[in-house]
Amino acid sequence: MTDKKLLFTGATAPEKREGWQGLRQFTRARIGLSRSGNAQCTKDVLAFQESHSKARDAVHIPLDIAHLQAEMGDTPVICVSSQAPDRQTYLRRPDLGRRLNAESLAGLSHGAWDVVFVAADGLSSIATQKEALPLYRAMCKRLLGWRIAPLVVATQSRVALGDEIAQKMGAKIVVMMIGERPGLSVADSMGVYLTYAPYVGCPDSSRNCLSNIHTYGLSTSAAADKLTWLMQEAMRLKETGIGLKDSSPENGIIENTPKIS
C-alpha cells in the first residue's frame, strides 16, 4: 500500500510547491522542484540535463566570426587571436589567452583612439554572438564625439587580452565584451570589463565590470546607459577599478527585467 506521506513530504508537497510558482517568474534558479517518492520528477531531471548540455555547447561552440562580419556590413572589423592555438589549450592554459599571437599583434595599427571595443568569445561564444553587436551599436549612438576604434573580434580570449589590444592601438579605454562562464541556469550571459589606460599585466583591480547581460538579466539598453556613465567618469577621473564607484542611475532596471516564461 502506498504511503502518501512518503510521496509528498516537506517542501515537495504539492501545496508547498505551488507556493514557489509565484517566485519562479523572477528567477532561473531551480526552486520548488517536484519529487516522486525520493527522486526528482523526470521533467526536472531532463531540464537539468538540457541546461548542462547548453553550458557545454556555450564553452565549445566556436564564435561565428563570418556572421558577425556580415552583420557589421561595410563597417571595418579587425579579427585577432590569442596565443592559445585551439580550444583545449585555451581551457588548460589561461595565461595564453591573455596575450596576442604574433600575427595578430603585427596586424594592429597605432592610432589616437578614445576607446576600442573588443568582442571576445571567452567561455560562452553564444553570449558574445547574441549580445556584443547590439551593445556596441547602442554605445556608438551614446558616445557622440568620441574617437572609437574599429571593432575588434577576438578568439580564444581572456579578459586581459583587451589590455594588449588597446596598448598596441593607442586607445585610452578598452571595453571588453566577453562571454561569461556558463552556469546551469544561464549559458548565454555576457560580461563587460572597462579599463582606463590598460597595459599588459594590468591588475583586475583596475577594471569595472558589468555582468549578467542576457535576455532575463541586464538588458542591452540598461547596460549601455551604465557603461556610458562609467566611461564618462573614467575619462574625467582618468582611472577605473577601485577608484571609480558605480553611482549611475538605476532607471528601473529591476522593473524592466523580463519575467521568466
CA distance 234 to 3: 65
CA distance 120 to 128: 7
Return the amino acid letter for 52.
H
The C-alpha cell that represents 93 in the structure block: 592554459
Structural element, H or E, at residue 103: helix 102-107
CA distance 219 to 254: 10
Residues 114 and 228 sit within 8 Å (Cβ to Cβ)? no
- Among residues 181, 239, 162, 249, which one has the least CA distance to residue 208? 239
- Among residues 157, 156, 230, which one has the least CA distance to residue 195? 230
Q: Is 180 annotated for ligand binding?
A: yes
Q: Which DSSP string do the residues of 21-34 spell out, in sequence order?
A: HHHHTT--S--S--
Q: Is 159 annotated for ligand binding?
A: yes
The C-alpha cell that represents 62 in the structure block: 566556436
Q: Is 140 annotated for ligand binding?
A: no
User: Which residues are documented as binding site?
Assistant: 159, 180, 209
User: Which residues are documented as binding site for adenosylcob(III)alamin?
Assistant: 159, 180, 209
